[in-house]
Amino acid sequence: MRKNFMQRATRRSRDSRNEFRAPVRAFTLIEIMVVVAIMGIILAAGIPSLYAFYHKTGLRKTTSDIVETCQSARAKAILSGQPTELVFHPREGTCEASASGGGYGSWAHSAKIQDCTIEMLDVNLQECKLFDTAKVRFFPNGTCDEMTLVLRSNNNQWRKITLEITTALPTVVDKIE
């Protein structure tokens, strides 16, 4: 009887161990460390390109600033209901958006042309590159004067910025034809 009791107890304990033991599935510490190391290498390789993407310099910055200034002048004209001028100073290498009439807060946005030269500045089909000031008008109905600006960087890269006269939206072209 004692033998039967011991056999049943052993069988029960063996059954209970197998019955409650779930299969163990987990990552080892080495596997996790390898994945973290790979992620670190990929991140380290991507940092220079992310830095260059967020920190604009040279022709890229100048182009972006001029486009933002054009958009600012367009928005100011539409929102205020009054014509706005984009004033270029080609000899100084600057431009700014201003509402006609002046007053407090009239200068909305400005841009400085750095590390590049103005190759062409046409306003209403008139070459203005050598003028002291050249003005592009934006109207409250969302139209503007015709403008074409061609910039050349010190690295001989070119950008052409044009304004669509019916929508007053700027367009940037990298390849000059």
User: pLDDT category, 88, cuts 50, 70, 90?
Assistant: very high
**Residue 115 to residue 6: CA distance in whole angstroms:** 92
For residues 82 and 18, the model is more confident at 82
Let me know: does 100 contact 85? Beta carbons within 8 Å: yes
**Residue 25 to residue 134: CA distance in whole angstroms:** 72
Three state DSSP letters for 39-72: HHHHHHHHHHHHHHHHCCCHHHHHHHHHHHHHHH
Average pLDDT over residues 139-164: 91
The end-to-end CA distance of the chain, in Å, is 104
Instruction: Locate the domains of the chain by residue range.
Output: 58-173
pLDDT (tens digit, 9 = 90+) per residue, 26-60? 889 999 999 999 999 998 888 888 777 676 667 88
Average pLDDT, the chain: 82
DSSP 147: E
Kindly tell me if the per-residue pLDDT of 114 is higher than 90: no
CATH 3.30.465.10, applies to 58-173: no
For residues 23 and 143, the model is more confident at 143
What pLDDT is recorded for position 103?
Answer: 43
Average pLDDT over residues 103-122: 74
Average pLDDT over residues 144-168: 91
**Residue 54 to residue 56: CA distance in whole angstroms:** 6
Average pLDDT over residues 155-159: 88
**Residue 169 to residue 164: CA distance in whole angstroms:** 6
Phi-psi region at 57: left, alpha or beta (left = phi > 0; alpha = psi -120 to 50): beta
